[in-house]
Amino acid sequence: MQYNFPCNIVPDTTEGGWGYLVSFSDIPFAHTGGKTFKESIILAEDCLVVALSCYVDLGKELPTPSSFQDGQELLTVQPVIAAQLDLYTAMREQKVTQADLAQRLAISEKDVSGLLSLDYCTPIGQVAEALRAVGCDLSTAGAAA
């Protein structure tokens, strides 16, 4: 799956408005903002990862990005995070538990939890190995997810 999410960045026009407001139409609870447009983009990228992490932590299906519209900014998650999200999706679709994956990889469930944690700097090689354990690989994970 491609993790390209459009977001809206608009000037804060409320009384005392101080910068820009960011929202994601595909993720209703994801909001942030910054003093400058550039700062808002940077914070929006972090906000997107945190929001997607909430879906993973709650065991929920990931939102499908909507089509990009004029006036929006398109944000894409980093490749290792996309691979982690593909792993999470493949596990959900195949009903592979963290315990199942731990057994397949001969690692602890805590280590599997780390593989799925978007706030942990997981080496891409470890995610690739986990993807192979669920029948995917980095080049086809998006197609299988």
Tens of pLDDT, residue by residue over 76-122, are: 999 999 999 999 999 999 999 999 999 999 999 999 999 999 988 88
Tell me: the pLDDT tens digits for 109-131?
A: 999 999 999 988 889 999 999 99
Q: How far apart are CA 121 and CA 66, in angstroms?
A: 28
- Which domains, and CATH codes, for the chain? 4-76 (3.30.160.250), 79-144 (1.10.260)
Tell me: the pLDDT tens digits for 40-66?
A: 999 999 999 999 999 999 999 999 999
Residue 140 has pLDDT above 70, yes or no: no
pLDDT value for 138: 82
CB 10 within 8 Å of CB 21: yes
Distances (CA, A) of 38 to 1, 42, 94, 129: 27, 7, 40, 36
Q: How far apart are CA 43 and CA 31, in angstroms?
A: 10
3-state helix, strand, coil in the chain (%, to 5): 45, 15, 35
* pTM (predicted TM-score): 0.89
Residue 16 has pLDDT above 90, yes or no: no
Sheet of strand 20-24, all strands in order from the earlier edge strand to the far edge? 27-34, 20-24, 4-11, 73-76
pLDDT value for 119: 87
Question: At 80, which amino acid appears?
Answer: V
